[in-house]
């Protein structure tokens, strides 16, 4: 008997040394265990890791694979908790089955990824979208939410139905929570329906769906052509971010645009699974390349030996493509206000009726688009307010509406930039406002988006990623475009880098406003005679992230 107590103590000590998982065992579960990745549509997929173990247990998990990258690659989960893991396939893996393994304490689950390449997107000009002329779309928003809004939606539906027999009015889509309702009515009845809706005290806005245009003027090995980076302080700023740990918490930039070539060699490693807010599916490709060009400026790969570099070209900055345009070969084709609002909401993690949840909500939403219609303020402003309350920085183009008159005319910035977003105009290589760049009250900054120095590798504007088409089949390339569309992702990339460099800023309860303040504070150059043309000035990336230079010019002793 005297020897029993030491034996018990030894067993207890062994249990403690073995860890709490023996007392409160975790249980690793992974769903699904097999995925198919179509690299023509996207280069990644997601698995869900769950701790199905005992209450109080903690699952320490990790992912190991020879040919797959995971984000995050490890973590800790309490009992019942889950985490989505993004798994990315390497380039050139078509036709292969790749395997990886999720591991936990004395547990492992093997997963497989079959890599395929589906049909190329075809581009038929005849299938270009045209806004229907037989009906008018109307967006309706509400002043309060909850039970009162549910009642208001019902009354608005009844009112719309009353116009139905005479004008074919109907509710096309009923929103939920802070979403809008979408109605359709014949053009002859639109004014009467709008007047009846606006007369209701519980209706915050009732506006026609206004066409939204992209804000571009069409026009590494190519880094020599990227004056928009070299002259505006990118290299000193990259020195700062390159010194940071490579495993920082990711910062996500959503590119709300006409689509993105997700398998472009300069972009694929940065891509998250996006969504098509126009077609309500996961294929974000299009037959135009505006969004692809914008995405490259924001975060194309750097130091990969090919193509161009993006502002946010570090491993912890990711791109979330959100398509809001119809499939078309025409770069002049517009989309609807409704599609842009849905895309903004989904990008920032807000609910959109009929859309799946966004597993990777954006920290920064880039909007290189706009329309000069003041009725849109009532539509866009509440969405921007709601996104900013979640800490999302919304960056939008001021527009290309200026005529280049001398003296310059303050024509006013477009929406959604004018509805409270960080509004961006375009500067040329001379640090002066580009002649086309819209300006006026509400303009925050200028950034490089205009005209290059002479002899800039054959590109007179901004070089970035693009797509070309032969016989309707898309091929990746690098192209030149100018406009406030090109200036806007420069600032979105800068905001993403700032959030990574400054952890305190990232955790700030007023994060969106704090980032906007820091961006304006770093916009030091405003050489023009009219300060209204420049907002706070021209943004220098090095002035944002360092104290040693401003657009490459050393400061201090």
Nearest to 118 by CA among 68, 43, 32, 47: 43
DSSP reduced 3-state for 104: strand
Catalytic residue among 264, 278, 290, 293: 290
Q: Report pLDDT for 8.
A: 47
Q: How far apart are CA 436 and CA 441, in angstroms?
A: 16
Q: Is residue 121 one of the residues assigned to a domain?
A: no
Catalytic residue among 38, 257, 283, 327: 257
Which CATH number is 340's domain given? 3.40.50.200
| pLDDT averages per 10-residue partition of the chain, 557 residues | 45 43 82 94 92 95 95 93 93 93 95 91 55 80 84 94 93 93 95 96 94 71 63 81 82 95 87 94 89 93 76 91 89 90 98 94 97 94 97 96 77 93 94 91 92 72 80 73 93 96 91 96 70 87 89 77
Question: Where does 17-161 show beta strands of DSSP type E?
Answer: 28-31, 34-38, 44-51, 58-64, 69-71, 74-78, 82-88, 97-104, 107-116, 136-142
Task: Let me know: does 448 contact 461? Beta carbons within 8 Å.
Answer: no
Q: Is residue 16 one of the residues assigned to a domain?
A: no
Q: Report pLDDT for 5.
A: 43
Q: Is residue 544 one of the residues assigned to a domain?
A: yes
User: Taking the alpha carbons of 271, 128, 462, 226 in that order, is the dihedral positive or negative?
Assistant: positive
Q: Are residues 410 and 285 part of one domain?
A: yes
Q: Report pLDDT for 15.
A: 40
Q: Are residues 138 and 225 part of one domain?
A: no
Q: Is residue 13 one of the residues assigned to a domain?
A: no
Q: Report pLDDT for 125.
A: 58
Catalytic residue among 485, 492, 542, 549: 485
Q: Are residues 465 and 335 part of one domain?
A: yes
Q: Report pLDDT for 265.
A: 86
Residue 497 sits at the vertex; the CA angle it makes with 494 and 502, to the nearest 5 degrees, is 125
Query: Can you state the angle between helices 484-501 and 511-521, rounded to 10 degrees?
Result: 110
Total structural domains within the chain: 3
Q: How far apart are CA 454 and CA 477, in angstroms?
A: 22
Task: Let me know: does 263 contact 503? Beta carbons within 8 Å.
Answer: no
Q: Are residues 91 and 196 part of one domain?
A: no
Please give the structure tokens belonging to residue 24.
């409160």
The one-character DSSP state at 271 is B
Q: Are residues 252 and 201 part of one domain?
A: no
Q: Report pLDDT for 217.
A: 55
Nearest to 285 by CA among 318, 259, 317: 259
Q: How far apart are CA 413 and CA 440, in angstroms?
A: 6
Q: Are residues 493 and 420 part of one domain?
A: yes
Q: How far apart are CA 499 and CA 337, in angstroms?
A: 29
Q: Are residues 133 and 225 part of one domain?
A: no
Q: Report pLDDT for 442.
A: 92
Largest CA-CA distance found in the chain, in angstroms, rounded: 103
Q: 41 is in which domain, residue-wise? A: 21-116
In the residue annotation, 215 being an active-site residue is answered as: no
The residue out of 208, 240, 261 marking a domain boundary is 208
Q: Report pLDDT for 477.
A: 82
Q: Are residues 390 and 301 part of one domain?
A: yes
Count CA atoms closer than 13 A to 42's CA, side-chain side: 24
Q: Is residue 305 one of the residues assigned to a domain?
A: yes
Q: Cα 201 to chain center, whole Å?
A: 35
Q: Are residues 546 and 400 part of one domain?
A: yes
> Residue 292: left if φ>0, alpha if ψ -120 to 50, beta else—which one?
alpha
Q: Are residues 235 and 196 part of one domain?
A: no
* DSSP labels, 482-548: ESHHHHHHHHHHHHHHHHHH-HHHHT-TTHHHHHHHHHHHTEEE--SS-GGGTTT-EE-HHHHH-SS
Q: Are residues 241 and 204 part of one domain?
A: no
Pairing of the two strands 107-116 and 82-88: unpaired
Nearest to 175 by CA among 203, 200, 133, 212: 203
Which CATH number is 76's domain given? 2.60.40.10
517-524: long-range contacts (C-beta < 8 A, 24 or more apart)? Answer: 518/544, 519/422, 519/444, 519/445, 519/491, 519/494, 519/495, 519/544, 520/444, 520/445, 523/444, 523/445, 523/446, 524/550, 524/551
Q: Counting beta carbons within 10 angstroms of the beta carbon of residue 351, is it exposed (0 to 12), middle (13 to 18) or buried (19 or more)?
A: middle
In the residue annotation, 405 being an active-site residue is answered as: no
In the residue annotation, 327 being an active-site residue is answered as: no
Q: Are residues 333 and 269 part of one domain?
A: yes
């Amino acid at each position: 008997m005297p020897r029993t107590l030491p034996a018990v103590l030894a067993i207890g000590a062994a249990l403690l040394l073995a860890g709490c998982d023996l007392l409160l065992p975790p249980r690793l579960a992974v769903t699904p265990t097999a995925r198919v990745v179509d690299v023509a549509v996207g280069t990644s997929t997601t698995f869900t890791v769950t701790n199905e173990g005992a209450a109080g247990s903690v699952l320490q998990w990790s992912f190991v694979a020879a040919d797959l990258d995971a984000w995050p690659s490890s973590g800790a989960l309490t009992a019942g908790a889950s985490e989505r893991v993004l798994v990315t396939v390497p380039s050139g893996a078509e036709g292969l089955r790749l395997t990886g393994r999720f591991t936990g304490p004395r547990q492992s689950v093997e997963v497989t990824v079959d890599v395929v390449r589906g049909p190329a997107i075809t581009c038929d000009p005849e299938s270009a979208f045209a806004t229907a002329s037989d009906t008018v779309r109307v967006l309706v928003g509400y002043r309060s939410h909850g039970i009162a809004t549910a009642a208001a939606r019902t009354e608005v539906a009844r009112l719309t139905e009353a116009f139905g027999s005479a004008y074919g009015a109907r509710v096309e889509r009923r929103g939920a929570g802070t979403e809008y309702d979408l109605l359709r009515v014949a053009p002859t009845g639109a004014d009467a329906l709008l007047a009846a809706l606006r007369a209701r005290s519980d209706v915050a806005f009732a506006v026609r769906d206004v066409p939204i245009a992209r804000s571009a003027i069409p026009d590494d090995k190519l880094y020599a052509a990227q004056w928009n980076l070299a002259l505006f302080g990118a290299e000193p700023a990259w020195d700062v971010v390159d010194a940071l740990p490579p495993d920082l918490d990711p910062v996500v930039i959503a590119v709300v645009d006409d689509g993105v070539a997700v398998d472009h060699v300069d972009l694929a490693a940065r891509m998250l699974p996006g969504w098509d807010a126009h077609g309500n599916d996961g294929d974000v490709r299009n037959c135009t390349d505006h969004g692809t060009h914008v995405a490259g400026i924001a975060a194309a790969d750097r130091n990969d030996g090919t193509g161009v570099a993006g502002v946010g070209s570090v491993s912890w900055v990711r791109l979330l493509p959100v398509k809001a345009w119809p499939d078309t070969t025409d770069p002049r084709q517009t989309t609807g206000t409704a599609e842009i609002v849905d895309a903004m909401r989904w990008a920032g993690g807000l609910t959109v009726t009929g859309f799946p949840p966004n597993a990777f909500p954006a920290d920064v939403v880039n909007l290189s688009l706009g329309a000069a219609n003041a009725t849109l303020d009532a539509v866009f402003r509440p969405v921007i307010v709601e996104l900013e309350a979640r800490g999302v920085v919304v960056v939008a183009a001021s527009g290309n509406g200026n005529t280049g008159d001398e003296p310059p005319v303050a024509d006013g910035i477009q929406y959604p930039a004018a509805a409270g977003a960080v509004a961006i105009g375009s500067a040329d290589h001379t640090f002066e406002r580009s002649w086309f760049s819209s300006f006026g009250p509400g303009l925050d900054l200028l950034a490089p988006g205009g005209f290059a120095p002479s002899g800039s590798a054959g590109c007179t504007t901004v070089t970035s990623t693009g797509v070309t088409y032969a016989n309707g089949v898309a091929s990746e390339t690098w192209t030149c475009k100018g406009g406030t569309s090109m200036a806007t992702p420069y600032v979105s990339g800068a905001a993403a880098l700032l959030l990574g460099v400054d952890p305190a800023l990232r955790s700030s309860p007023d994060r969106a406003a704090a980032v906007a303040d820091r961006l304006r504070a770093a916009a030091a150059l405003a050489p023009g005679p009219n300060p209204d043309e420049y907002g706070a000035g021209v943004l220098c990336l090095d002035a944002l992230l360092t104290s040693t230079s401003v657009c490459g010019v050393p400061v201090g002793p």
